[in-house]
Structures are given as structure tokens and as C-alpha cells.
Structure 1
Amino acid sequence: MADWGSVSAGVAALVLICLLAPIAWLLFRRSWLSMGHGRVFACSLQRNPTSVWKVGVARFHGDDFQWYRVLSLSLRPKVTLRRQDTVVLHVHPARGGEGAGVFPGHVMVELGGEQVGVSLAMARPDLTAFTSWAEASPPGMSDGRLIG
């Protein structure tokens, strides 16, 4: 029969594993997102003007812009924007009260097209990459139509 000391040590070890496993998974997930898929950067998302900002990370993956919630355990993006459906309507710095859930110094990007009402917030260098990505046509395409 086991004594209380070994049982409590086993329970304490199990509790510690249960607490550390999600943190280890989040760290693994962050490195997995950036492995072989380009740079991952901080990007907040708002689905419509009345909803709250959600903190996340994003990456470019071919013709897709993939957005992941920071505290999600999923390896799948929560939101995927297709290049041909993404239109940048307006870019502006955060205004009073608008920046709750947005990192300091990030710039707001209002989207149109298929993503009307969706807004992103990101750092200026990431904004430059995003607008270049959104305005670029995939190879062999011109304004969304196949050349040739």
C-alpha cells in the first residue's frame, strides 16, 4: 500500500504536468507556425466595428493571410483572408478608446471586398507587407484574371 507522501507527490506531479502542458503546447505552436512558412507577427483582429479586438498572430501563406488567436491551442487559422478577395479601404492610427486589445503603436486597417467590416491592427512594417501582399497579383494573373 502506498503512503500519503508518495500519493501526494504523484498528485503534485500530475497537477504540474497539467499546468505546464498547455504552455509548452503554445510555445511549440508558435514555433510550428513560423517553421518553413515565413515570419509570424502580432496582429489584432476585429470582425465588425461593434465587436471587441482579439489579440493574435498572423502569417502570409501563399495567396492566404492566416490569422491565429494567441491563446488558442488549435493549429488551424481562425480567420483566412484570400488575396483576391481582400481590399484595403482605410488605414489610420488608433483613436481614443479604439485601441483596447491592440498593441501600442499599431495601425488600424479597415478591409473591404469579401471582408467588409473586418479590421486588423498591426505594426507599420507589417502593414507595409500586408498592403503589398493585398495589392499584388499572383503570378500569371492581372486584376484577378488569368493572363494568356
Structure 2
Amino acid sequence: MTPIATIELVLVVALALLVASIVYVWLRRRYISGGKPLMLCAISTGDRRWRLGLARIAGDRLDWFSVVGPSLRPGHSWIRHDLDLGAPRRLGEAVPGLPSDAVCVTGRSRSEDYELALSPAAYTSLRAWLESSPPGFNVNVA
């Protein structure tokens, strides 16, 4: 095999891997969303390191998925009535991938404490979802 043919083969394989990776990321994102609201959100679970991900509101659950990685399962999952979000505050340091006006909110659930960083619009939709009553939950309360 000539050196030029070897270089061409390596470039074709590299290009095929790049295209396959892009297609996988796109398909994974489509699968994760499943037609439900999805937002860009970073999480910090105590080590003060932000990890960028996708938050999905699905019925009575909030699921968080890592942006990169092969897993189709959420890295964190919370049930709506177990969530307690604090007041939003300006994000001290910039998180790559989030807008410059992103807000940070401290959250608590039965199993863990964490911080979420997301855009103001995403925070508003998350807060509205959290404060709305799920179907069949306390329906007789006036």
C-alpha cells in the first residue's frame, strides 16, 4: 500500500468516526427528549465543579442527563414533590455552554443537595412546573 493510499484510508476512517459521533449525539438527544421539554442545565453536587447537561421535565419527574457520554439513563432524577428549589441568584463564574445571564439555584431532595445553573427562561419554566399541581395530586384543595 502506498503512503498516499494509507493517508487517504486514515482520513476516511477519521471522517467516518466523526460523522458517526455527530449522528449518535443527535440521535441520543432526540431519544432523551422523547417529545418532552428539554433544557440546557449544569449541575454541581458539592465538589463545586459544574457539569453541563440536559434537564428533562417528564410528568412528575425532573431528569438530568450528561451532555456527553453514551448513557441513555439520567445521571440524576428527582420526583416533583421531593424537590425544593431555593431563590435564584446570579452565577458567580461562567459555565461554558450556558448564557452569560445564567442563574444558579440551590436544590434539595430527600437523597441529595445540589446546585443547578440554567438560563433565566429555563428557571422560570422549571419553577412553574414545580409549583403547578400535578394531575390528581391534591385535586380537592381550594
Q: TM-score range by the shorter chain?
A: 0.7 to 0.9
Deviations 1:79-121 (A, max 9, x none): 11110110112321113x4x44572111111112325421111
Of the candidates 127, 133, 138, which is equivalent to residue 137 of structure 1?
133
Report the TM-score, using the length of structure 2 for normalisation. Answer: 0.80
Contact 1:85-1:115 within 8 A present in 2 as well = no
2:106 is aligned, of 84, 106, 110, to: 110
- Which of 27, 42, 45 does residue 43 from structure 2 map onto? 45
**Is 1:74 equivalent to 2:71 in the alignment?**
yes
One-letter amino acid matched to 2:101: G
The alignment covers a number of residue pairs equal to 138
Q: Which residue of 2 aligns with 1:16?
A: 15
Query: Where does structure 1 lack aligned partners over 5 or more consecutive residues?
Result: none
Residue 126 of structure 1 is aligned with which of 118, 122, 126? Answer: 122
**% identical equivalent positions:** 25
Unmatched tracts of structure 2, length 5 or more: none
Q: 1:53 to 1:76 in 2, by over 3 A?
A: same
Determine the structure 1 residue equivalent to 2:89: 92
User: C-alpha displacement at 1:19, in angstroms?
Assistant: 2.9
In structure 1, how many angstroms separate the alpha carbons of the residues matched to 2:9 and 2:103? 49
CA RMSD of aligned residues (A): 2.4
TM-fit CA distance, 1:18: 2.1
